[in-house]
Amino acid sequence: MRARATNLVASYPADLEPSFVDEFVQFTFLVMTEKDQSVVHMSEMLKADGGLLQATFPNVGIALRIYLTIPVTNCEGERSFSTLSRVKNHLRTTMTQQRLQALSLMCIESEVLQSVDFDDIINDFAKQKTRRRDL
């Protein structure tokens, strides 16, 4: 356990102090008494009670934040490029470059796109393109 903590300090010398090894050992014994031993629960446990444990184990808090953020950044980037390549491969022959870029952007930013209210956009478009004449 100490060897792995020492390797982590060696990997992140700018973020973790050498005292991380002792903090980690003490924090491990504290976590063993808990029923839920997930990383998210450990992070929430540090923040509970006004951050009292965070002040006691500052390097453990930094290590947990590093652990919780690294997989997300790798996954999100890979997912965006994977989605883009699927869209490009499937529709490359039937669209112009401008339309392909717009569709790719919509696919990558799907969360923002889902929050847009399309009823207003459709009504505005219908009013502009009306070809009816009043009699």
User: How confident is the model at residue 128, as a pLDDT?
Assistant: 78
- Confirm whether 134 is domain-assigned: no
- Tens of pLDDT along the chain (135 residues)? 889 889 888 988 888 888 999 999 998 888 888 888 888 888 888 888 777 888 888 888 888 888 887 765 555 555 555 666 666 666 565 667 787 788 778 888 877 777 877 788 888 877 876 666 655
User: How confident is the model at residue 118, as a pLDDT?
Assistant: 77
Residue-range definition of the domain harbouring residue 51? 2-94
Q: Do 59 and 109 fall within a single domain?
A: no
Q: 59, 58, 77: which is closest to 12 by C-alpha?
A: 59
**What is residue 127's DSSP assignment?**
H
Q: Do 107 and 74 fall within a single domain?
A: no
- Confirm whether 25 is domain-assigned: yes
Q: Do 28 and 84 fall within a single domain?
A: yes
Q: Do 58 and 89 fall within a single domain?
A: yes
Q: pTM of the full predicted structure?
A: 0.50
C-alpha to C-alpha distance for 81 and 62, rounded to whole angstroms: 29
Q: Do 81 and 103 fall within a single domain?
A: no
Q: Do 15 and 40 fall within a single domain?
A: yes
Using a 10 angstrom Cβ sphere, with 0-12 exposed, 13-18 middle and 19 or more buried, the burial of residue 100 is middle
Q: Do 108 and 73 fall within a single domain?
A: no
Q: Do 65 and 42 fall within a single domain?
A: yes
Q: Do 20 and 82 fall within a single domain?
A: yes
